Structure 1
Amino acid sequence: MILAADLADDRGWKGPNSATPEVVELSELLNRAKIYPLHDRPENFRSPSSVSRKIGNLIGSHPSAPRNALRTSAGEVPIVNRFVDDRTPMKRQAADIRVRIRRGLL
């Protein structure tokens, strides 16, 4: 969620779609992560479509989003609020996660 919120923040909390290059790149990065065993992953695991949907849900949790915005979950709200309240440390954390995935540490 941190990486998806980071992308939403980069886009000014405006929604991308599944063909947005940054969404495709994030999908590919998430699929490199070792967090979930390969044999347990469904075919559409962290697909561009699912990444785009998650970003949309996070945008719906943003304080400036209309009350009847996209579906959100209780787990998304704290992540978005941290980006709103503590943007710089969250951007650093997202960058660190990206590096760790690329190095095969996550």
Structure 2
Amino acid sequence: MSNKELENYVKTEEGANLLEKYQQYLILLKKLNLDACRSSNQASTRLGNLNQMLTENTDSYLKLTGELRKVPDITKQVNAMHAKIDVLHKYLLQAELALWQLESLKGETSF
């Protein structure tokens, strides 16, 4: 079809209807394209937010696991301190008993 034939065809009712449908489809495609771009931008924003949240949560998780790995060492230190406190408590009881015995001896010698 040449340009002249196409121009004549568009002037007919059938050609005008076809051209109008073509224009409507172009308008619809443009609208769908805009909607797709909007949805794409929205999805990109949401994915960015999700990525940031996951990064923050991953950092928190890694810090927490690092601290939890220290628990066995802390437990050993606490147990060692507990043993030292038990020894100190034993010495304090012995010192208290010795003082009590000295006080009782002092009471016996004052007669």
Q: TM-score, normalised by structure 2?
A: 0.19
Larger relative contact order (CA 8 Å, sep ≥ 6): 1
Q: If each structure's helix is expressed as a fraction of its own residues, which one has the higher value?
A: 2
**TM-score, with normalisation over the residues of structure 1?**
0.20
Larger radius of gyration: 2
